[in-house]
Amino acid sequence: MDTCQDEIKIASLYTILQVIYTQYLDNAMLLSLLEFIALQLRKWHDNDISVSDLNNDTLALTYYPPMDWQAISLAKPASLLPHKTKLTMQQRAANLAALDMPDDYWRVFKHLYFRNKDIPKDFNRLVDQLRHTRSMQVKGKGVCEQDIWLWDEKSAQAMVILNSRSKKRYRKWLSNIILAWRV
């Protein structure tokens, strides 16, 4: 992702996220990307279209660097599944749960998907459950969540990207025992 504005590029969501996490370190850029993806996926879902194998590698974005997002395409166009009936919240949740992003940005992504309105409780519970199940089955690749450091210009500080449950997952048991001993 160069800073040159005159050439259009195509890259997978996975690749773009890795570049944001390791080179740009910019919260605004990531939020812009998440908003674009959430709204595009919402349009597909509202038109009763889901993606059979949706994940960070199957979504490809066309953009002008560094963050002028133009279009989303799929690595395999055959993976678009038109439905004859309206997509249920369960189908939407199952479709979105395969996307991989840090916890706090996942929370933001869900709000963007519902256009900053309340997230239905059943959807929220189900998508988080499916996402947790998937994360237990799939070994992480790319940048580890605890190593991601993004800067927010508006607040002039680094963003917190992990929720308390994820922070506990990375915490070492020995440090907990030492802390308990000191207390």
Domain boundaries, the chain: 9-182
Model pLDDT for residues 11-27, shown as the tens digit of each residue: 999 999 988 888 888 88
pTM for this structure?
A: 0.76
Which is more confidently placed, 114 or 180? 114
Model pLDDT for residues 130-176, shown as the tens digit of each residue: 988 877 666 555 556 655 666 667 777 766 666 666 666 666 777 77
Q: Give dist(CA 34, CA 40) in Å, integer.
A: 10
Model pLDDT for residues 44-93, shown as the tens digit of each residue: 999 999 888 888 889 999 998 887 889 988 877 767 778 888 999 999 99
Nearest alpha carbon to residue 47 among 92, 97, 93: 92
Q: Which of the following CATH numbers is that of domain 9-182: 1.10.287, 1.10.10, 1.20.1630, 1.10.510?
A: 1.10.510
Residue 95: the pLDDT is 92
In degrees and rounded to multiples of 5, residue 123 shows phi and psi of: -60, -50
